[in-house]
Structure 1
């Protein structure tokens, strides 16, 4: 309930800039041994970019929240990343489900290697849903920044095209899963991955689209 009230308070009629002052982006901490803490400079840089280009007033410091915590409901935008195993207990899966049904938004970013694990974990959260690739004309690609070709490719990995998958509940995209892309690496400090300026700009712009969509849906 708190999350629904919070989301309703993010906008007034005609307002285009999401987020009250001090709102934090949140990083999901999960069990299973995967490195949920990867990319420590990613969310601060994304918050700065959103503040500069979307007119938000996000706190530069992100929150870390566990899957089963009631604190989950304090954050409209939840980011999940890593390279390895992901395990949700029954209680954690139920808590994440309720968060997403209450209006929350989850961005899962495969940092290379978590795909087979995160799909199993999310099936526990929504056994009735399947990840489906989103069409290039989906709203997520048409926020402030237009991506006519869908999700931008940031890192090579297996040299496959970047794909954006989604879980949709009653017409609302509740989870966006970036695969073969590595948006979070593109959000990190320039000297961490030495991405090209174009790749880094595309990653931050797509991240801003995710934040804008999460706050406006």
Structure 2
């Protein structure tokens, strides 16, 4: 009975918290804290351009904590290992199917670990590549070619993968794009203004989609 009450409390929390986002802290030794200036810059861009009122200082929440249910959008990044315990996986699954959204941005090197751990969260779901026509590429800014390429690593094309629940996109995994690097302060990677703008606009699409769907 207590578990049922807790679940419905969490469900209410996701829908009642209107606009905010948080950084997802995970186990395994990967640098979940990477790109420290990225989210503050993305938040400022969203607040300035699509009239959001997001807290300019994103909070950090642990994947196994009930605190994740306070946020309609979680952002996860890093370069290396990711590990979800059974409790972490169950908590994240409940969060996502109750209305939450997770954006995982591979900062180079996360992919083999993330795909393995997501099977703990949803054993019966597979990541599927999103078509260029998906609404997330058009909801505010237009990306007719799909996910933009921000940083070069292995010469591979950028890909956006998703997990769906009842036809709703609940998780976005951006691969070989490195959006977060493009959101960082200009002097961090010395990206040209047009590259940073593309990254910020795609990030804004993600935020808007997560808040409205």
Which range, TM-score by smaller chain? over 0.9
Please tell me whether residue 137 in structure 1 is matched to residue 133 in structure 2.
Answer: yes
CA deviation after TM superposition for structure 1 residue 189, in Å: 0.5
Distance 1:101 1:141 in 2: 22
Partner-residue secondary structure (3-state), 2:141: coil
Please tell me whether residue 75 in structure 1 is matched to residue 71 in structure 2.
Answer: yes
Normalising by structure 2, we get a TM-score of: 0.93
Q: Is the 8 A contact 2:183 2:200 kept in 1?
A: yes
1:159 — aligned with what?
Answer: 155
1:107 — aligned with what?
Answer: 103
Write the mapping of 1:1-217 to structure 2, written as runs, cut at 5 A. Answer: 1-2=8-9, 4-5=11-12, 8=15, 19=18, 23-217=19-213
Give every structure 1 segment of 4 or more consecutive aligned residues whose post-TM-superposition deviation is greater than 3 Å. 1-10
Partner-residue secondary structure (3-state), 2:139: coil
Q: What is the RMSD of the two structures over their aligned residues, measured on CA atoms?
A: 1.3
Distance 1:83 1:37 in 2: 10
Partner-residue secondary structure (3-state), 2:197: helix
Structure 1 residue ranges without an equivalent (≥5): 11-18
Q: Is the 8 A contact 2:14 2:98 kept in 1?
A: no
Distance 1:74 1:9 in 2: 8
Normalising by structure 1, we get a TM-score of: 0.92
